[in-house]
Chains A and B, each alone.
Chain A
Amino acid sequence: MRLELVPRTDVPGYARTLAPLGAIVAAILIGGLVVALLGRSPAAALDVYFVQPLSESWGLQELAVKMLPLVLIAVGLSFCFRANLWNIGAEGQFVAGAVAGAMVPLATHGMEAGPWVVVVALVLGTLGGALYALIPAFLRVTLGVSEILTSLMLVYVAQLGLDWLVRGPWRDPKGFNFPQTVVFEPGAQLPMLMEAGRLHAGAGLAVIAVLATWFIFSRTLFGFGIRVSGEAPKAARFAGFDANRLVLIAFAVSGGLAGLAGIVEVTGQIGQLKPSISPGYGFTAIIVAFLGRLHPVGILFGAFVISLTVIGGENAQILLKLPLDLTTVFQGVLLMCVLAADALVSNRVRIVRTARA
């Protein structure tokens, strides 16, 4: 006997929308059971995990701050993934953007140069990320090298490059030789949007990125070309779309947004360069992109869920003294439930009896 998944032909739209919500409910039930087995109150866990972060300005702002890099990167990745291009190196493009952009605040440090610094930094950061992503794109187009390998390997190159910079030429001269740059001047940092809390102007950029991506995919020929080349490459060729050009543009957009996320994180949140400037946003964003089914609004939802579990998990550690491992397990359960719900909505489970030999 074995189980088979048979694709359903007629999946109603509402089922696809309800599936992730059902998955969250299922995950909460499983999580609650585990919490109860540990002898704690599942209701209290639910409260600190999901309710508290969403019921106060501070928590909401923190959620947005955490979502920001994930959304920017994942929206960019959707350009590559929709075209069936596997850019696994967003983490490296994030770092490349941060480094390229940080040149400006570092070069103007001590000059009280004013807010144009951060604007130029954002532009350079985007360009830096885009150029860095064009390396694997170019290698693929000209030499047929797998972009999966090159984009991933370039992550380590970027990280080690940053490491070298903050230990060497860009090291804070007054920093006791610790590997980090000076802290950027206020003019070189993104302005905060609210009095209390850490929500910064980068949030506006993420909103623009989401709207622009939605517009491009639903309303432009270029967006259509990307989708067709991913779903039916032959049809795209017949329709006259230049495949190589699409590869280069998709990577440039993807890398540019990852680079923007990098410089936004550095000028909005961290305020300096250090050997490590990301807890793996470039990789988490891959999960976010697929959780959101490569749709900009879905990506917002995916980033929301992932960020909430991180912040909620931290709250559970602080307020309920629940172990970190439990929150990690819960993240895993949640992801599995979302994937399972997705599979069950678009497929029917069939039991196949195998005859005994």
Chain B
Amino acid sequence: MRHILKLAGALALAAGLAAPAAAQEKLKIGFIYVGPVGDHGWSYQHDQGRKAIEAAFPGKVETTYVESVPEADSDRSIEQLARTGHKLIFTTSFGFMEPTLKVAAKYPNVMFEHATGYKRAKNVATYSGRFHEGRYVQGVIAGKMTKSNIIGYVGAYPIPEVVAGINAFMLGAQSVNPNVKVKIVWANTWFDPGKEGDAAKALLAQGADIITQHTDSPAPLQQAEAAGKFAFGQASDMIRFAPKGQLTAIIDDWAPYYVERTRAMLEGKWQSHDVWDGLAKGKVKMAPYTNMPDDVKKLALETEEAIKTGKLDPFKCPVLDQDGKQVECKGKGALSDPQILSMNFYVKGIDDKLPK
């Protein structure tokens, strides 16, 4: 009798334990965006990645996002995702770094992925894209296309990622046109179509005939189009905003990475890491080359291919800084990744002083 009771108890226990697993609980995945999903740039692309997850694992995942989260007040939003059963959380802007780490320390069973940061933990991975590779290609195109030899650059904030982008762009331009000048206006925002557009207008008024941008809205591109000049899209293919003005765009394709990390979660194989992929792995893509002569298009394609295959490194040595001094070469024939990730100098020929 006792045995039977024991057995019954064990069975009941087993059934109780097995029940939730049998119900196939969906994996909840959360996203924190710095801008609105409708910015058609940075946050929009992350949201495309989120949608790709939903499409890749129908019925197995549930995704949530919080948009326009202020970086100075993001702890609560991140923690609320962790509290409400989200097991994998992507925080998609540099400013979320410390808040992500703080929340992650409290929720060891929730895995976090922080974009563009450098601090990691057992449950915090980091990832980013080698966007400067795309900027080098853009530089080559701009160097060929400019008639005034003045290129306008709308920057968000002088952080290393943006500075490295400016430098790569300049090196690309100089590789085909030694007389090219780059003028920079800091918008001091990632997303503010009004300010971004004004910055582009100021640059056009200074004689720039090509505009490139490291801010998230299509406004600078639209200003260039309205002025009959050329520009590059940012983060996503923005051709519909400037059918006659966009030369190409750097596309941040987060989708494969997000799908891969979700799969790792589902299979229980998720581990913290740092990933920094570029054109070769498809994390960074170039939109179709449009509104340019065939020879420029051919050159752009060749440059893209050379970077993909590793034949060309945008920061191949020697790299000269603004004073013409050679920058120490810490990588193999090129600047090392840590040097690029902490870049705080301009290369020779940039007509601006780095705000410090």
Name the contact of B77 in the complex, choosing from A163, A314, A321 (C-beta under 8 A).
Answer: A314
Contact A274:B95 (CB < 8 A) given known A167-B158, A178-B159: yes
Closest to B76 in A: A62
Whether a CB of chain B sits under 8 angstroms from the CB of A177 is yes
Q: Tell me which residues across on chain A come within 8 A of B98, comparing CB atoms.
A: 183, 270-272
Annotate A177-205 by CB proximity to B: 1 below 8 A, 0 otherwise. 11100010000000000001010000000
Contact A177 B342 (CB under 8 A): yes
Binds B, one of A75-83, A223-231, A276-284: A276-284
Instruction: Report which of A277, A278, A314 forms a contact with B76, defined as CB distance below 8 A.
Output: A314
Decide: A274 near B159, CB < 8 A? Known: A317-B67, A318-B30.
no
Whether the Cβ atoms of B77 and A324 lie closer than 8 Å is no
Decide yes or no whether A84 CB sits under 8 A from chain B. no
Interface residues on A, range: 20 to 34
Give complex CA distance A168, B354 in Å.
11
B30 touching A269, Cβ below 8 Å:
no
Residue of A270, A272, A278 with most partner-chain B CB within 10 A: A270
Residue of A nearest to B161 (CB): A178
- A65 contacts partner chain B, Cβ-Cβ < 8 Å: yes
A-binding segment of B80-88, B173-181, B206-214, B264-272 = B80-88
Residues on A with C-beta less than 8 A from B83 are: 58
Contacting pair A276 B71 (CB below 8 A):
yes
Tell me the bound Cα distance from A274 to B118 in angstroms.
16
Report the 7 A-B pairs with minimum CB-CB distance, sorted nearest first: A279-B70, A176-B342, A177-B344, A177-B342, A279-B73, A168-B356, A177-B160
Question: Contact flags (1/0) for A275-306 with B, using CB distance below 8 Å?
Answer: 11111000000000000000000000000000
> B341: CB under 8 A from chain A?
yes
When distances are taken between beta carbons in the complex, the residues of chain B under 8 Å from A66 are 73, 76
| B160 in contact with A176 (CB, 8 Å) | yes
Residue among A168, A269, A274, A275 making CB contact with B75, cutoff 8 Å? A269
- Is A315 at the interface (CB under 8 A from chain B)? yes
Q: Which A residues lie within 8 Å of B344 (CB)?
A: 177
Residues on A with beta carbons closer than 8 Å to the beta carbon of B102: 271
Report whether A176 and B67 are in contact in the complex, using a CB–CB cutoff of 8 Å. Answer: no
CA distance A324 to B36 in the complex (A): 9
Whole-angstrom distance between the alpha carbons of A108 and B142 in the complex? 49
Inter-chain CA distance A62–B103, complex, in Å, is: 14
Beyond the given A66-B73, A271-B98, A276-B71, please list 12 additional residue pairs across the A-B interface where CB-CB is below 8 A.
A65-B76, A164-B355, A177-B159, A177-B160, A177-B342, A177-B343, A177-B344, A198-B75, A270-B98, A272-B98, A324-B66, A324-B67
Interface residues of A (CB under 8 A from B): 58, 62, 65-66, 163-164, 167-168, 176-179, 183, 196, 198, 269-272, 274-279, 311, 314-315, 317-319, 321, 324
Q: How far is the CA of A26 from the CA of B65 in the complex (A)?
A: 29
Q: Does B64 contact A (CB under 8 A)?
A: yes
A318 to B67, CA, bound (A): 10
Determine the chain A residues whose CB is within 8 A of the CB of B118 once the complex forms.
176, 178
User: Shortest CB–CB separation between residue B101 and chain A, in angstroms?
Assistant: 9
Contact A176:B341 (CB < 8 A) given known A167-B355, A324-B36: yes
Judge whether B72 and A318 touch: CB under 8 Å.
no
Interface string of B21-33 (1 = CB under 8 A from A): 0000000001000
B336 is an interface residue with CB less than 8 A from chain A: no
List B residues 71-122 near A (Cβ within 8 Å): 71-73, 75-77, 80-81, 83-84, 94-95, 98, 102, 106, 118
Contact between B76 and A311 (Cβ–Cβ < 8 Å)? yes
Chain B residues with CB under 8 Å of A177's CB are 159-160, 342-344
B64 near A318 (CB under 8 angstroms)? yes
The residue on A at minimum CB distance from B38 is: A325
Q: For the complex, is B157 an interface residue (Cβ under 8 Å from A)?
A: yes
Minimum CB–CB distance from B49 to chain A (whole Å) comes to 17
Q: Which of B64, B75, B157 contacts A321 (CB 8 A)?
A: B64
> Least Cβ distance of B349 to chain A in Å?
21
Given the contacts A177-B344, A179-B157, A270 and B72 also touching, CB distance less than 8 Å: yes
Contact check, A276 vs B84: say whether CB atoms are below 8 A apart: no
Instruction: For B65, give the chain A residue with the smallest CB separation.
Output: A317
Which residues of chain B have C-beta atoms less than 8 A from A315's C-beta?
A: 80
Chain B residues closer than 8 Å to A274, beta-carbon distance: 71-72, 95
Interface centre among B75, B106, B341, B343 (most CB of A within 10 A): B75
- Contacts of A311 on B, CB cut-off 8 Å? 76
Q: In the bound complex, what is the Cα–Cα distance between A279 and B95 (angstroms)?
A: 13
* Chain A neighbourhood of B76, CB < 8 A: 62, 65-66, 198, 311, 314
Q: How far is the CA of A321 from the CA of B81 in the complex (A)?
A: 12
Residue B326 is within 8 A (CB to CB) of chain A in the complex: no
